[in-house]
Amino acid sequence: MTQYIGWLRGCGTALVTPFTAAGVVDEKRFRALVERQIAAGVRLLVPCGTTGEAATLTAPEQERLIGLTVETARGRAKVLAGAGSNATAATIDRARAARAAGADALLLVAPYYNKPTQAGLAAHFRAVAQAVGDTPVVLYNVPGRTASNIAAATTLALAREVENIVGVKEASGDLAQIMAILRDRPAGFRVLSGDDAVTLPLIALGADGIVSVVSNEAPDLMANLTESALRGEWEAARQLHYRLLPLMEANFIESNPGPVKAALAAMGLLEEHFRLPLVPVQEQTRARVRAVLGPLGLLPGAAHVAA
């Protein structure tokens, strides 16, 4: 039977990782970003994922960032920590380290580059879940990044057969696949959108929330959108959806987290530094990001009105 994790719902934020000009993690700014999320009503924090540039973090940096998230949150929000890699043994090491750092649950991306079969994917996730005992595990399916898709049948088999595999972040963009999971999932198994723009329709179909990029910029608005939808307040949710949609789309003009970091820099919340092979966005992207931040009142000096 799937563990029931009541708090695994609503709006979770896929936290960016701020760096200094010297290329090290900017811990002071990271703490401030976490505090901003909590103050805005976000109760699920997701460090060290795609948006957090996890692929360029060393194992000690990853463990430190997860620990900082836990320490800063001080129980006010749960921590779903990214711990995936494309080697099962390395994933087990990072998952155990994330658990030791205080993470409430683990987000495990499908192994990238290797292109495992469905049997290989299932064996990978089983091995990691078994290695972390009863720590909750959330699968992360993002074929555009990994070059492999976790099929609905594989997700559902893991959900039914591995007690601590408690949910999936679905970013495949395949609505038929996501609906199959929603229709046939066991009781308690959570489905989270991995794409801001389809949060509203997926919740209408039965999904439980979102691991969001846009909530880095507008945490209160995205949290309100998600909660409104979960309460069945469709008109309020629809208005917020269309209000945020231009920013949701701008965040992916170039590879994430390029645009969202440009936005946060324009908002004065971090310095726009990346680790290679990521580089700052093009000027036309930066201009577009600023153009959509303005009407939301998110630029310095503008009045931000939450809805």
- Cα(279)–Cα(49) distance, rounded to whole angstroms? 18
Is residue 169 part of the annotated active site? The answer reads yes
| Predicted confidence (pLDDT) at residue 302 exceeds the cutoff of 90 | no
Q: What is the pLDDT of residues 6-20, one digit of tens each?
A: 999 999 999 999 999
Instruction: Provide the pLDDT for residue 2.
Output: 81
> Rounded distance, CA 212 to CA 16, Å?
11
Residue 307: per-residue pLDDT: 54
Cα-to-chain-centroid distance, residue 45: 8
- Active-site pick, 78, 112, 169, 242: 169
Is residue 140 annotated as a catalytic residue, yes or no? yes
What's the CATH fold of domain 10-233? TIM Barrel (3.20.20)
Residue in 169, 158, 142 with CA at minimum distance from that of residue 8: 169
Average pLDDT value over all residues in the chain: 96
Catalytic member of 28, 113, 140, 261: 140
Q: Tokens for 12?
A: 């979770």
Q: Where along the chain do its domains lie?
A: 10-233
**Please, which contacts does 173-182 make with residues 24 or more away whose CB atoms are closer than 8 Å?**
173/144, 173/198, 174/149, 175/201, 177/149, 177/151, 177/152, 178/152, 178/202, 178/205, 178/207, 179/205, 180/152, 180/156, 181/152, 181/155, 181/156, 182/206, 182/207
